[in-house]
Amino acid sequence: MRRIFFNLPAWSRFIFVPIMAAAFLALISYVVMQLWNNLLPDIIHVGTITLTQAAGIFILCKILFGFGRPGGRFGGDRSMFKKRLAERMQHMDPEERARFKEQFGNKFDRCRNNRWGSKEDETSDI
């Protein structure tokens, strides 16, 4: 999907992105509206809401509680970890790399792979 999106002409992105954002907001608003209207009137005796009110509640919650961050609560920024590990591995001798891999197994080989699973740098022998 990512490669297809970036191969599109620039003018089509200006049309495609707002339409997808509006569709996403409408879908999330519909889910919020359905959950509110099916659960809360029976539980805490509040009135039902419309789709625009559900969109407002969703946006207000995002503003108040945040938009989240990559890596989860305790994961932090994983790209910084990948960069530090790659830098350390580049400065190691082949013997040190072998000892490191022997000690930790192949856990960190995934750090060398990009999102799609292919190697970023095929020439290095990490």
The yes-or-no verdict on residue 115 having pLDDT over 60 is no
**What DSSP designation does 92 have?**
S
Distances (CA, A) of 84 to 36, 104, 106, 111: 45, 16, 17, 10
Neighbours of 101 (CB within 10 A): 15
Listing DSSP states for 3-21 in one string gives HHHHHS-HHHHHHHHHHHH
pLDDT for 26: 96
Neighbours of 19 (CB within 10 A): 9
The yes-or-no verdict on residue 49 having pLDDT over 70 is yes
Angle at 56 between CA 12 and CA 43, to 5 degrees: 135
Neighbours of 85 (CB within 10 A): 15
> In terms of pTM, does the model score above 0.75?
no
Instruction: Please report which confidence band the pLDDT of residue 31 belongs to, taking 50, 70 and 90 as the band edges.
Output: very high
3 state DSSP class of 35: helix
pLDDT for 76: 57
Note the pLDDT tens digit of each residue in 71-89: 555 555 567 777 887 888 8
Q: Which of 21-35, 45-59, 84-98, 112-126 has the lowest mean pLDDT?
A: 112-126
The yes-or-no verdict on residue 41 having pLDDT over 80 is yes
Instruction: Please report which confidence band the pLDDT of residue 121 belongs to, taking 50, 70 and 90 as the band edges.
Output: very low
Report the chain's mean pLDDT, rounded to a whole number. Answer: 78
